[in-house]
Amino acid sequence: MKELKITAGTIARTIILILALVNQLLTATGHSVIPIDDEMISGLISTIFTVVTALVAWWKNNSFTAAALQGDRVMHILKENPGDIGKEE
């Protein structure tokens, strides 16, 4: 059986989401992460960054478990051969 691996995209999106959430938490507690003096701009940038990252991470299929990775493989096989769906052998 082919070894299933977590994709680089899944890892990158997860890391970016974690960084965005940590940045948002630091900003909410009064710590300036982005070196801009104006707190309103800092908060706005932080919020936009968090929202965009969360939406991208939510939209993408982030498979971590072996079952989820196997499900992705089945999905790709079915997408490549849509005429095989529902056929009995």
- Residue 16 belongs to some domain of the structure: yes
Give dist(CA 24, CA 46) in Å, integer.
6
In which domain, by residue range, is 34 found?
A: 8-81
Q: What is the pLDDT along the chain (89 residues), one digit of tens a residue?
A: 567 787 777 877 888 888 788 888 888 888 866 555 566 666 777 888 888 888 888 777 778 889 988 998 998 888 888 776 666 55
In a domain, 48, yes or no: yes
The amino acid that residue 75 corresponds to is M
Domain count, the chain: 1
* 13 domain residue, yes or no: yes
Buried b (16+ CB within 10 A) or exposed e, 61-76: ebbeeeeebeeeeeee
